[in-house]
Amino acid sequence: MNRQIRLGGTWTPVIGWLIGANVALFLAQNFSPLVTEWLALVPGAVWPHRLHTLVTYAFLHGSVGHIFFNMLTLYFFGGDLDLFLGRRRFLTLYMGSALAGGLAALLLPANTLVIGASGAIYGLLVAYAVYFPRTEVLLWFLLPMKMWVLVTLWVGISLFYSVFGSGGGIAHLAHLGGAVFGFAYTLRLWRPLPMLKDLQYRWRRRRFKRIQ
């Protein structure tokens, strides 16, 4: 079997719009701190007048490195999912993961400032690992690793820090919330019969490949 190593991304209009929105708001943050004040998520201040921040926080970033790596990951994996799922389902996955990350972040201390697209990105990564588990990526552009292994490792790290604390000021709960939504949405866990049929299909497909 030929190895499939992921070396680049797929550009689509939706990916362009999302990256453009993130970059535009990042630039706006640097021109006016009011942008962060209006749109960032602060768990203790969400109810009742800042419910919008459960989503808008995912379009803000704290540094060039922060936005660069989030947008790079979005480019690497988002385009394929956009083409595979279609625009509507892809945006539902992305925005739903962002919202789930925001809801999970409500468990953080009340005065925590939460910004970044990582919750949405984790949802995409989990979905990619479910749909294309055997695709190999280069961790740190050097180490080949199957997608399902890489995502399991990253989600495990977020789970560890969410349970035991610390984590260098990173909102791991938001990562975990996005990952959970991505998993639930991809496998349609709220629809058990289609989910079971999908799992049965995947199992038969694996057995067919082995026979070949």
Instruction: Note the pLDDT of residue 57.
Output: 96
Task: Tell me whether residue 175 is one of the annotated catalytic residues.
Answer: yes
Taking only the tens place, the pLDDT of each residue in 75-134 is 999 999 999 999 999 999 999 999 999 999 999 888 899 999 999 999 999 999 999 988
Instruction: Note the pLDDT of residue 187.
Output: 84
Instruction: Note the pLDDT of residue 141.
Output: 62
What distance in Å separates the CA atoms of residue 185 and residue 188, rounded to the nearest whole number? 5
Q: Is the pLDDT of residue 8 over 90?
A: no
Instruction: Note the pLDDT of residue 124.
Output: 96
Instruction: Note the pLDDT of residue 161.
Output: 79
Taking only the tens place, the pLDDT of each residue in 21-77 is 999 999 999 999 999 999 999 999 998 889 999 999 999 999 999 999 999 999 999
Of the pLDDT bands very low, low, confident and very high (cuts 50, 70, 90), residue 160 is: confident
DSSP tag of 41: B
Taking residue 186's Cβ as centre, other Cβ atoms within 10 Å add up to 21
Q: Token match 């499939």: residue?
A: 4
Of 158, 162, 172, 175, the active-site residue reads 175
pTM as predicted: 0.83
Of 61, 97, 118, 172, the active-site residue reads 118
Query: What are the strands, taking DSSP E only, across 128-183?
Result: 136-139, 143-146
Task: Tell me whether residue 63 is one of the annotated catalytic residues.
Answer: no
Looking from the CA of 47 toward its CB, the CA atoms found within 13 Å total 4
Of residues 10 and 212, more confidently modeled: 10
